[in-house]
Amino acid sequence: DAGVIQSPRHEVTEMGQEVTLRCKPISGHDYLFWYRQTMMRGLELLIYFNNNVPIDDSGMPEDRFSAKMPNASFSTLKIQPSEPRDSAVYFCASNSELVGTGELFFGEGSRLTVL
């Protein structure tokens, strides 16, 4: 089975532009997480979904960030307007409580640079 798939792998954009990051979780996984990683702050949880429903978005930095999960196989993280401080690697991860191990499976990440 394919792992978590993220796109784009790299994005360079200018301040003020809209950025959309995409994630396809592992089939059958009912939890999806969006993380942001920077050197300064490490891995930060932005939001997570259970069965396509947002459960906790307290990590979303501000209103410029929004996330959706319209179905079990797709999620987006949108930043509008983007700012240079949003530059980071954004990871999507999924898992299933039924697996039992609690292991999170990460995508390869989307490296965002905002100029």
* Of residues 72 and 104, the one with the C-beta less far from another protein: 104
- How would DSSP label each residue in the chain? ----EEE-SEEEE-TT--EEEEEEPPTT--EEEEEEEETTTEEEEEEEEETTEEEE-TT--STTEEEEEEETTEEEEEESS--GGG-EEEEEEEE-GGGSS---EE---EEEEE-
Interface segment toward another protein; rule CB under 8 A; list 14-22, 39-47, 60-68, 75-83: 39-47
Stretch that binds another protein, among 17-25, 48-56, 60-68, 72-80 (CB under 8 A): 48-56
Does position 106 interact with another protein (CB under 8 A)? The reply is yes
Residues that bind another protein (CB under 8 A): 31, 35, 42-43, 45, 48, 50, 55-56, 91, 97, 101-104, 106-109
